[in-house]
Structure 1
């Protein structure tokens, strides 16, 4: 009976360690955490070739084709955005190592500056990229123009607002000036009215102290009238025409300076007032006072007559301030005393 051949010896002694990680073995040192860095990892050198896939064609090389298309479109768009400049060429080193991916031959020398815009990109794609770049440029120009227009509108609005504010200020200043002028005019008017009232009161008070020389009369001659019948060439007094014998009264109280015949003046009486003014009463038919006599306002001093150089009975009244030889207008002087002949 044949026996089985002996079993071959085991190539290694099976380990009696438990399955899985149970810590470092005796012949290993302690474990440490390892964080790889650029210095601790050696760079990978050599070419990285892309293995040709079965079936070939651009459809199976989606990664490489995507990178090529993106680069081509980007280069075409950048070139077309600069009007008048030739397309930018991008060189692709070692094109022969990946030429089988695009189904062509590796006849181009390594490091060739073949433009990627002609790889996998159609004329329509190039035109579309140019249109997109042009639209982007147009949008940028439009945005710039809109920003400038906003600045112009803002500046114009500021100028308009400044002009409007100036007009408002000018109108306010004019209104204030007009109001001040009106207030000043009203003040002046009030002051004038008050002054007029005060003057009226003063004249009313003076009227009590002064009196017209004749009660019933007609003014037949005024001061300054020219004529050859007067030696001075003009009339020097105020004539109160009244019937002969009409009473003549003192205009104001004073002292009799003269009473008697005075040539062309006929019978004349001169009374000196307290302020030195002389009143001449001329052409009297009779005199009722004597020199040095004190008379009061309204006292009878004589009667109307037609003595001297006259054409009819009347009282000729003259006013000589301070006793001077030249006479002044009696009408003005009487009105200044509150009387109105």
Structure 2
């Protein structure tokens, strides 16, 4: 708090001025009594502009007529606002103060204290935080916002996972369907191939049967009423080569021997262990040998047709009984082939 130091006492000098003397606050007259010595004090000297002093109180109570008290009140109000901020956790108090008027204009000895004591509202408004639930509410709102963001992120991630799972399931289903289609196509192709092969085989068999049927009309078995006693390739001491080189048709002596196919007689007569033998050469060069005949009915150079009689069954040569020994030599070769297989290739079943 600022106060003025007492001024030094001035020596008394009789006044030369008129009876109407100018004094502070008005003119003095001689009726007011003799002059008193003026000693400036803190209460009588007006403080410099912008300074504050403590004014004496009137009536033993109320506010002091001084800006000092007002300043103290403002400070108290500010302190109270700060305490409220500290207690409530609110933002600092905002205080706005207008330009202070001249202290001299605020203080007047002629006015009552009640009228001159400025109120706190004269210096502006003091804003204090309201003790409400704003801070907890704000914290709750912030927490709810954070929770909402977290839940939104979780929902987004869950949606992405579900979408990826759906895409994976769709891809798996598409792949399974494609595999099933490919498998079905392969099975259908395999069935079609098998059916085609079967049809081709059946067609081939039919064609072969037709060919053999046609050949059967052109070829004939060498004799009838017979029994197959020895086949081609059998081993035994009865044959000079060590194995049987033809096919034996056992039949009674005198049974007719026929030409198996059309051709020309190229040999007819005795041939050692073969007995009486006739050779029929076919148009393709294959030679058919007929051995062990009892008699020969064709001559060399004679053209014969299928089924023509060329001799009779006998037991001449190296034999153990009456039978026809037949050999097949393709192209006139020295070594023969299985006569039974050859006959079957011509549609005949010996």
User: TM-score under structure 1 normalisation?
Assistant: 0.66
Find the counterpart in structure 2 of residue 325 from structure 1.
Answer: 334
Rounded Cα–Cα distance in structure 1 between residues aligned with 2:277 and 2:306: 18
Whose radius of gyration is greater, 1 or 2?
2
Rounded Cα–Cα distance in structure 2 between residues aligned with 1:200 and 1:100: 135
Whether 1:274 and 2:301 are equivalent positions in the alignment is: no
SS at match of 1:209: coil
Find the counterpart in structure 2 of residue 19 from structure 1.
Answer: none
Whether 1:120 and 2:130 are equivalent positions in the alignment is: yes
Whether 1:131 and 2:153 are equivalent positions in the alignment is: no
Whether 1:165 and 2:174 are equivalent positions in the alignment is: yes
Residues 237-316 of structure 1 mapped to structure 2, 5 A cutoff = 237-316=246-325
Residues 35-54 of structure 1 mapped to structure 2, 5 A cutoff = none
Q: Cα offset for 1:276?
A: 0.4
Q: Cα offset for 1:92?
A: 5.3
Rounded Cα–Cα distance in structure 2 between residues aligned with 1:306 and 1:91: 148
Find the counterpart in structure 2 of residue 11 from structure 1.
Answer: none
Q: Cα offset for 1:100?
A: 5.1
Q: Cα offset for 1:333?
A: 0.7
For residues 247-274 of structure 1, give each alpha carbon's deviation from its aligned partner in whole angstroms, at most 9, with x where no partner exists. 1111111111111111111111111111
Rounded Cα–Cα distance in structure 2 between residues aligned with 1:277 and 1:121: 132
Find the counterpart in structure 2 of residue 339 from structure 1.
Answer: 348
Q: Cα offset for 1:129?
A: 2.9
251 and 200 in structure 1: CA distance in 2 versus 1, 3 angstrom threshold: same
Q: Is the 8 A contact 2:253 2:313 kept in 1?
A: yes
Of 225, 233, 239 in structure 2, the residue corresponding to residue 224 of structure 1 is 233
Find the counterpart in structure 1 of residue 155 from structure 2.
Answer: 146
Find the counterpart in structure 2 of residue 176 from structure 1.
Answer: 185
SS at match of 1:282: strand
Q: Cα offset for 1:167?
A: 0.9
Q: Cα offset for 1:121?
A: 3.0
Q: Is the 8 A contact 2:270 2:276 kept in 1?
A: yes
Rounded Cα–Cα distance in structure 2 between residues aligned with 1:309 and 1:174: 68
SS at match of 2:328: strand
When structure 1 is superposed on structure 2, of 318-327 and 255-264 the one drifting more is: 255-264
Residues 99-114 of structure 1 mapped to structure 2, 5 A cutoff = none
Find the counterpart in structure 1 of residue 165 from structure 2.
Answer: 156
Rounded Cα–Cα distance in structure 1 between residues aligned with 2:185 and 2:237: 62
How many pairs does the alignment contain? Answer: 242
| Structure 1 residue ranges without an equivalent (≥5) | 1-67, 77-86, 107-115
Rounded Cα–Cα distance in structure 2 between residues aligned with 1:139 and 1:253: 108
Whether 1:195 and 2:204 are equivalent positions in the alignment is: yes
Output the aligned Cα RMSD.
Answer: 2.6
Rounded Cα–Cα distance in structure 2 between residues aligned with 1:90 and 1:120: 11
User: TM-score under structure 2 normalisation?
Assistant: 0.64
